[in-house]
Amino acid sequence: MNENVTVCPTCGHKIVDYKHSINRTLVSCLHRLNALGGRARLDRMQLDNTQFANFQKLRYFGLAVPTNENNEWQITDCGIWFLQGRIQISRFVITRNAAVIRESTELVYVNEVKDCVQFKIQWKEQASQPSLFD
């Protein structure tokens, strides 16, 4: 096994830190949610495969949150303000086990977001590397 991969000593689960950048795909998801009144179910939003697979990452940036009702998602005030260009958010976040553990100190406005969706091969390569903050 790669010496840079951390494994839980109790259960043997591989522990990996992932970097998620805000990108045009996520902004398009947020815009779609906002256009639907700020609250909607993913299966009714007419998202493409990339949008559908990445939508949940909006919560890492505090832009949208899942509700406890009917599998819906709700845009946050920060999400609205970000779309309006009123606030900046972190350019990227680092997650471990689906929880944010670090945020970029570099901030961006919505008009500064670039298209940089990672593909499966990049995730595989990243999973075999040491933590970004080790």
Residue 78 belongs to a domain: yes
Note the pLDDT tens digit of each residue in 77-116: 999 999 999 999 999 999 988 999 999 999 999 999 976 5
Residue 80 belongs to a domain: yes
Classified as helix, coil or strand, 90 is: strand
Compute the mean pLDDT over every residue in the chain, rounded to the nearest whole number. Answer: 85
Residue 91 belongs to a domain: yes
| Residues of the chain above pLDDT 70, percent | 81
Q: What is the largest CA-CA distance in the chain?
A: 48
**Cβ atoms of 22 and 90 closer than 8 Å:** yes
- Overall domain count for the chain: 1
Find the CATH number of the domain harbouring 104.
1.10.10
Give residues with Cβ within 8 angstroms of 81, minimum separation 6: 87
Residue 95 belongs to a domain: yes
Residue 71 belongs to a domain: yes
**Which residue range(s) make up the domain with 111?**
23-121
Residue 89 belongs to a domain: yes
Quick one: which of 61, 22, 13, 58 has its CA closest to 40? 58
Residue 42 belongs to a domain: yes
pLDDT at 14: 85
Residue 57 belongs to a domain: yes
